[in-house]
Amino acid sequence: MQLLNALPRQPFIGLALASSTGILVADFAPNHSFVPAIALATLALTALLSRDSFAVYTLVATGFFILHSLSTRDSPALRLARELGEKPRPVSVLGSVVSEPKISPTGSASFLLQAESIEIDAEVRPCNAMFFARWRHAVQFGDEVKLFGTAERVAEPRNPGEFDMRSYLARQNIQRELIVRYPENGAVLSHAGGSLILRTAQKARGWMRAVLSCDLENSHDVTGSISGMVLGLRHQTPEDIEEPFQQTGTLHLFAVAGLHVGIVARLLWILATVIRLPRKWATALIIPALFFYAAVTGLHTSSVRAVAMSAVLLAGFFVEQKVFTLNSLAAAATLILCWNTNELFSAGFQLSFSVVAAILLLAEPIYRFLRRRFEPDSFLPQSLFGARRRIIGRSVSWLARASSVSFAAWIGSLPLMLWYYCLVTPISLLANLVVVPIAFFVLAGGLMSMVAAPLSTWLSIIFNNTNWFLTKIILGAVHLFTQIPGGHLYVEHPHWPRGARMEINALDLKSGGAVHVRTTNSDWLFDTGSLRDYDRVVRQYLRSRGVNRLDGLILTHGDAGHIGGASSMLLDFHPRQLIDTPTPDRSSIHRKFIAELARSGDPRRLCAAGDEFDLSRDVRARVLFPPRGFEGDKADDQALVIQLAVFGKSRVLIMSDSGVATEEFLSKNYPELRSDIVVKGQHHSGISGSEAFLDSVQPQAIVATSRDFPENERIKNEWVERVGARGIKLFRLDETGAVRISVFRDRWEARTYVTSETFRSTSR
């Protein structure tokens, strides 16, 4: 009720709510007929005649409904996507680089390409759609390029927890990516194209980054962190440094927001005061300078929001009226949504505005509550307090103020952090009290370094080295906070319990392997995938499932595609048990991993045929292969084979990349090999899943990896036909994506991630 009463005095609150409502309705139920346009005209006339607030808000909601509906039907990207169809098409595109390219470890540059023309089937036509381009070539913002490649749909996520790049780009009105296979399939036609303001901002950013790293060239982790905190360049910060900031709730330091903009505005105001500029002239110069700073830092939502709020507040000097901060926040949101209605669905937009709104609404009441608990009797005169008591009082007041802001920000971010990152960070309440004041001086020092650089290089270097010391303190403190038990927790999204005794998730990692086994009270992982797959898929998957520590990690063999991420896995999830094969191999990655275990003192259990261990009270694992003393020619020939039994009944046979030789050994030595489900990879020879082996196991379903290249990693069509003729359900991970198998006491069912297919067991 108080909010509704405040709307006439703070009209942008109502406008922001109305615009958000219109966008949400249009996103769930777009309408492309003339009915909304007629309603818009009627409401506009009603609002003009009646001057009724409700009519105005309804008018705004209808307008944004139409605007967002049009963006889902008739954008250039959608028109081009309909023309290209679903299959990849070779095209030649002429356009400009409109984002700062990001360079992968392999040297491939990814960037946004604003097309000017496109050639399809030898026909050139104008085109103003945006592409997400990948090209192994050095390019810069503003370059005009001509690229020949394949236009295809952006890859969809194939595993739970994996980042959905397709949806992310679609919200930016990008429907196709352009893959340029070879460097010679493109050319840079000219430099210095694109928007003059953005190009100038990019050059200014490069100069600022060089200034901030002057004399710190040998400390890449520190310079990346300083650039992130001062300029919001998160991609300059190594992921292993950025992650602890996320886990301690201090990642906002790398997002240019109110703190950054406030300091810049304050410095500009001091400069205007020194040169005796009139207040209105100072305001007229500071506002565009702040927008340029936002452009320098990448025009992220948080920086645009902070600058828009500052502009509204500073504009109060022109009209000499009191400006409400909550109304300014709503004004910033409305302006951003006018520019792009899809911003409403971005995590950055939601986090930025929800956190600031929570601070504006909750920080002051929390501060007053805390202050009342510690302040002295208000009727006592201040002269009765000594210097020590006054210092303590001011310290308590500062601590209460900082705590109230930190707690309000945590409350505002909690629902979104749970939804997007499955993360709860109670330690952030303490971490922000320690880190933010130091980061304030880092930011101020960085700005002073840039101001001093044109005048005195040695003075700029002094500021840089001071920032180096302060940043080292921040990094040390953040890493310390991440080690506090219970300081951060990954929590799975709420779901209705189904009563499964065991759940198996076979992840789609192409030729690599990673299988997560969850029982009623434990989490085990079979292999980790390659280092790239672990970082990109496996780690994110485990965190989306609320796994904070693994009960066990099982390494089947020394193939890099299966254990490449093992070292990182130990650091992230600290498995209580580590089970490995005793069979020696020639894998350099495996040997390096064993050496790391020896240095750290982490125990390793070597299991061979005949060994058994419990995953939980209901689930028992039995190692079937290799026998002790066995040595194979290839790593695939000595992979661990493990059979999982639930309530004593064999359910799952995990084969890893075993081939025919292993299958023959199993068929010969284990008469009771029968299992409901087989999870398998591809042997290096390309031959596995023999007829004799299938006769011995008699599975109802097989989950198998497959990839197009190399050929021996691809499932053969003849084998698929033979499996189908036996009535066995085959789940090809290259077609289905990840597969989740839920095993109950007397049945099991499997569900695919990409195709959403469900298969249920039959009685035998």
pLDDT above 70 for 480: yes
581 and 633 both lie in a single domain:
yes
30 and 146 both lie in a single domain:
no
Q: Give how far the C-alpha of residue 692 lies from the chain's centroid of Cα atoms, to the nearest Å.
A: 46
Higher pLDDT, 458 or 191: 458
Tell me the average pLDDT across 210-230: 85
* pLDDT tens digit sequence for 355-364: 888 888 898 8
15 and 115 both lie in a single domain:
no
pLDDT above 80 for 441: yes
Higher pLDDT, 327 or 573: 573
Which has the minimum average pLDDT: 112-116, 149-153, 312-316, 661-665?
Answer: 312-316
Given this model, what pLDDT does residue 235 score? Answer: 58
Higher pLDDT, 522 or 375: 522
Does 200 fall in a domain?
Answer: no
Give the separation between CA 514 and CA 568, rounded to whole angstroms.
Answer: 14
Given this model, what pLDDT does residue 238 score? Answer: 59
Phi, psi torsion values for 173, nearest 5 degrees: 65, 40
Q: Which segment, 413-422, 704-713, 729-738, is predicted with the most confidence on average?
A: 729-738
Number of domains comprising the chain: 4
Give the separation between CA 722 and CA 687, rounded to whole angstroms.
Answer: 14
Domain finish residue from 423, 455, 478: 423
SS3 content of the chain, % helix, strand, coil (to 5): 50, 15, 30
Q: Amino acid identity of 92? A: S
Task: Name beta bridge partners: 577.
Answer: 552
pLDDT above 60 for 5: no
* pLDDT tens digit sequence for 709-740: 777 788 999 999 999 999 999 999 999 999 99
Does 276 fall in a domain?
Answer: no
Does 333 fall in a domain?
Answer: no
356 and 409 both lie in a single domain:
yes
Q: Which segment, 45-54, 244-253, 307-316, 605-614, is predicted with the most confidence on average?
A: 605-614
* CA triple 353-356-360, angle to 5 deg: 130
Does 407 fall in a domain?
Answer: yes
Task: Name beta bridge partners: 114.
Answer: 96, 130
b/e sequence 547-582, b meaning 16+ C-beta within 10 Å = beebbbbbbbbbbbbbbbbbbbbbebbebeebbbbb
Domain finish residue from 384, 402, 423: 423
* pLDDT tens digit sequence for 653-689: 999 999 999 999 999 999 889 999 999 999 988 889 9
- The pLDDT confidence band at residue 4, using thresholds 50, 70 and 90, is very low
Does 313 fall in a domain?
Answer: no
pTM: 0.88
180 and 33 both lie in a single domain:
no
- The pLDDT confidence band at residue 24, using thresholds 50, 70 and 90, is very high
b/e sequence 336-364, b meaning 16+ C-beta within 10 Å = bbeebbbbbebeebbbbbbbbbbbbebbe
- The pLDDT confidence band at residue 276, using thresholds 50, 70 and 90, is confident
- The pLDDT confidence band at residue 2, using thresholds 50, 70 and 90, is very low
376 and 509 both lie in a single domain:
no
- The pLDDT confidence band at residue 3, using thresholds 50, 70 and 90, is very low
pLDDT above 50 for 6: no
648 and 726 both lie in a single domain:
yes
Given this model, what pLDDT does residue 448 score? Answer: 87
27 and 98 both lie in a single domain:
no
45 and 100 both lie in a single domain:
no
Does 176 fall in a domain?
Answer: yes
Q: Amino acid identity of 579? A: I
Tell me the average pLDDT across 504-533: 93
* pLDDT tens digit sequence for 157-193: 999 999 999 999 998 889 999 999 999 999 999 887 7
Does 300 fall in a domain?
Answer: no
Burial class of residue 132 (count of CB atoms within 10 Å of its CB; 0-12, 13-18, 19+): buried
- The pLDDT confidence band at residue 9, using thresholds 50, 70 and 90, is low
- The pLDDT confidence band at residue 1, using thresholds 50, 70 and 90, is very low
Given this model, what pLDDT does residue 290 score? Answer: 83
> How much is the mean pLDDT over the chain?
86
How far from 526 is each of 531, 561, 603, 731, CA to CA, in Å?
15, 12, 17, 18
Q: Provide the Cα torsion 525, 527, 529, 535; round to 10°.
A: 40
94 and 123 both lie in a single domain:
yes
Higher pLDDT, 51 or 63: 63
Give the separation between CA 616 and CA 137, rounded to whole angstroms.
Answer: 52
Q: Which segment, 215-229, 377-391, 638-652, is predicted with the most confidence on average?
A: 638-652
677 and 584 both lie in a single domain:
yes
Contact yes or no for 540/420 (Cβ under 8 A): no
Domain finish residue from 423, 447, 473: 423
Q: Report the CATH number at residue 587.
A: 3.60.15.10
Domain that holds residue 529: 502-755
pLDDT above 60 for 414: yes
Given this model, what pLDDT does residue 236 score? Answer: 55
- The pLDDT confidence band at residue 271, using thresholds 50, 70 and 90, is confident
636 and 676 both lie in a single domain:
yes
Tell me the average pLDDT across 49-69: 78
Higher pLDDT, 232 or 724: 724
> Which long-range CB contacts under 8 A does 365-370 form with residues at least 24 apart?
366/403, 366/404, 366/407, 366/408, 367/400, 367/401, 367/404, 370/400, 370/403, 370/404
Q: Provide the Cα torsion 86, 90, 96, 97; round to 10°.
A: 70
Given this model, what pLDDT does residue 657 score? Answer: 92
pLDDT above 80 for 488: yes
- The pLDDT confidence band at residue 748, using thresholds 50, 70 and 90, is very high
> Which position has the token pair 């320690």?
434
Q: Report the CATH number at residue 145.
A: 2.40.50
Does 478 fall in a domain?
Answer: no
